[in-house]
Amino acid sequence: MRKNSAHLLLIAVLILIDQVTKHLVARSVELYGSITVIPGFFNITRIHNRGAIFGAFSGVGGRGMTIVLTTASLIALALVVYYFIKTAASDRKVKAALSLILAGALGNLVDRVARGFVVDFLDFYVGRWHWPFFNVADSCITIGALLLILFFVLRKPECSQSSSA
């Protein structure tokens, strides 16, 4: 457990940052209200996302969707935890990427279980085109997943020894 303590601390800190930012936004910004941070580029806009990451499936909504997404999140979390445990301690980059994914998944799961929706508030846009709303947890999941892909693409293939007859 000691060899994973830095990763567990990272997960805890990221969940804390995610939950604190969501709490601050929920307390200070009305639902669908917006605070301009960088005009023409970035707002803090509070929405309640009943769908998945970046609002995917949010139009489906309802209690059934919450149950489906919560169940899917728990299954995904179990798989990531399993992979985290099976990953060698020396593979610190992969462990860090998995830590980001775990922190994000847990952060959004806390919202989904406690509220039935996820608080999203980061609103990047250019002109009238807006990127889907997201939060710190979504950022952790996305960055962690991109890092995992990058690490596996750049990983040197292991030399296989072929026996000669």
CB-hemisphere CA count at 13 Å for 165?
0
The token pair at 162 is 């072929």
Q: Give dist(CA 160, CA 165) in Å, integer.
A: 16
Give the CA radius of gyration of the chain. 19
Give the residue ranges of DSSP H helices in 37-91: 62-86
CA-closest candidate to residue 44, choices 138, 125, 137:
125
Quote the CA–CA distance of 45 and 29 in Å, as a whole number: 7
Q: How far is CA 116 from the centre of its chain?
A: 17
Residue 120 is among the residues annotated as catalytic for this protein: yes
Active site residue: 18, 111, 120, 123, which one?
A: 120
Choosing from 18, 111, 123, 138, the catalytic residue is 138
Strands of 118-126's sheet, edge to edge?
34-38, 42-49, 118-126, 129-130
Indicate if 91 belongs to the active site.
no
Catalytic machinery residues: 120, 138
